[in-house]
Amino acid sequence: MSTAKTLSLTIDGTPCTCESGEYLYDVAKRNGILIPVLCRSDAFEDHRACCRVCIVEVEIKGRRKVVTACVYPVEQECAVYTNSEKIVEERAIVLALLAKRAPESAEIVAMARYYKAPELDRLVELDGGRCILCGRCVQACESLGTGAISTINRGTEKEVSTPYHNPSLACVGCLSCANVCPTGAIPFIQAPSTRSIWGRDFEVLSCERCGAPMGTREEIAYAAKKAGMETPVICDACRKHEIADSMMGTYRLV
């Protein structure tokens, strides 16, 4: 990478500066301008730019175009409009479409209302829909290296699932997918000593010292293997206590 150049731009009239190549969403956020997002998460470096909620208009040399702020790299001076008439309308339509897809998601319904999405009673609602196919869950699973879920099929039949809808042996039951889901669309059952997700039941291990739940047997083993450590039998908090205790002993001897 060459040394980044500093650029100046305006966002909704506010003068801002950024380094060349920075994503527009990040520049706006740093300057206190919040562009709505759904599929973007700070947990990931790459963004899928698929929910299209973060659309804004960018004007360069008098020419305007609609871009997605989450992945648009600012590379020259420009004027950005996050609330132009066009953006307000198109964002509202995108949210109206999402609200029909995920009518059971309180988050989406609230967001659609906030951005004044038209009701459009004429459109069909997906029964029991919560998932907006933002793909964060798949991203999370992929970045962990487990790869238990993916999007399957295409077009209007696209969905997130395990291969052939069968319980996946690759799943470690870590709940990362459910945790990054912005609409709570991934169902799971958490009991004191068991957990169920994606059609599989997992045993939840407890800390041998304090008895606090540590996670599923599979996820603990997976994380330890990845870190090149032995599988722990005590929880993080107890491990810290243990280290502190042993250090205390060490200092006492000095």
Alpha-carbon distances, residue 1 vs 5, 20, 77 (angstroms): 11, 11, 20
Q: Which stretch binds other proteins (CB under 8 A): 156-164, 173-181, 196-204, 229-237?
A: 156-164
Pairing of strands 194-197, 200-206: antiparallel
Contacts of 226 (CB under 8 A, 6+ apart): 145
Pairing of strands 79-81, 6-11: parallel
Contacting other proteins within 10-69 (CB under 8 A):
48-53, 55, 66-68
Of the pair 132, 175, the CB lying nearest other proteins is at 132
Out of 6, 153, 246, 250, the residue judged to bind other proteins by CB under 8 A: 153
Q: Which stretch binds other proteins (CB under 8 A): 153-161, 187-195, 207-215, 223-231?
A: 153-161
Contacting other proteins within 192-251 (CB under 8 A):
none
The answer to whether the beta carbons of residues 223 and 205 sit under 8 Å apart is: no
Rg (C-alpha) for the chain, rounded Å, is: 23
CB 164, min distance to other proteins, A: 16
The reply on whether position 2 binds other proteins by CB under 8 A is no
Contacting other proteins within 109-148 (CB under 8 A):
120, 122-124, 132-133, 135
Out of 15, 128, 155, 228, the residue judged to bind other proteins by CB under 8 A: 155
DSSP 126: P
Out of 45, 85, 127, 157, the residue judged to bind other proteins by CB under 8 A: 157
Alpha-carbon distances, residue 208 vs 56, 213, 224 (angstroms): 53, 10, 17
The reply on whether position 6 binds other proteins by CB under 8 A is no
Q: Which of 107, 128, 121, 141 is nearest to 36 (CA)?
A: 107
Q: For binding to other proteins (CB under 8 A), which residues are involved?
A: 48-53, 55, 66-68, 71-73, 86, 89-90, 93-94, 97-98, 100-101, 120, 122-124, 132-133, 135, 150-151, 153-158
